[in-house]
Amino acid sequence: MPLSLPRSRDRLAWQPSPATGKVFFSAPANAGLGRAIAAWLVELFPARIRYTSMSLPYHIGNGWFGGFLPTIAFAMVAATGDIYYGLWYPIVIAIVTAVIGSLFMPETHERKLEHD
């Protein structure tokens, strides 16, 4: 069977799903926050313990929140029946992390990177 164009050539035939907006919101936010966190963690800890201090919480956070993402998203979808409901988990985690980080983390502007 040869490939052919769709029968409908109407431009409105393709409708974006609710997931489209959520994905386009979370992808740039994740990219921007991921780069900023790495630079901020370098300034936060003294040089002699810097690698362990920034690697351990970073990888535990990514492992727990990112590793359990499919399981939690699937459970949310199964509980509600809405196939897009699982997309709220990464958005809520990102917002909660940004709020907690902005409230409780110290300012590192003009801190020497070689401090002990």
DSSP for 34-89, written as a single string: HHHHHHHHHHHS-GGGHHHHHHHHHHHHIIIIIHTHHHHHHHHHHHH--TTGGGHH
Higher pLDDT, 82 or 24: 82
Residue where the block lists tokens 């936010």: 29
Phi-psi region of 47 (alpha: psi -120 to 50; beta: other; left: phi over 0): alpha
Q: What percent of the chain has pLDDT over 90?
A: 20
> Each residue of 60-75: pLDDT tens digit?
888 888 899 999 999 9
Give the domain ranges of the chain. Answer: 18-104
Burial of 84 (0-12, 13-18, 19+ CB in 10 A): middle
> Each residue of 83-110: pLDDT tens digit?
999 999 988 988 998 898 889 877 777 7
CB 112 within 8 A of CB 50: no
Q: State residue 14's pLDDT score.
A: 60
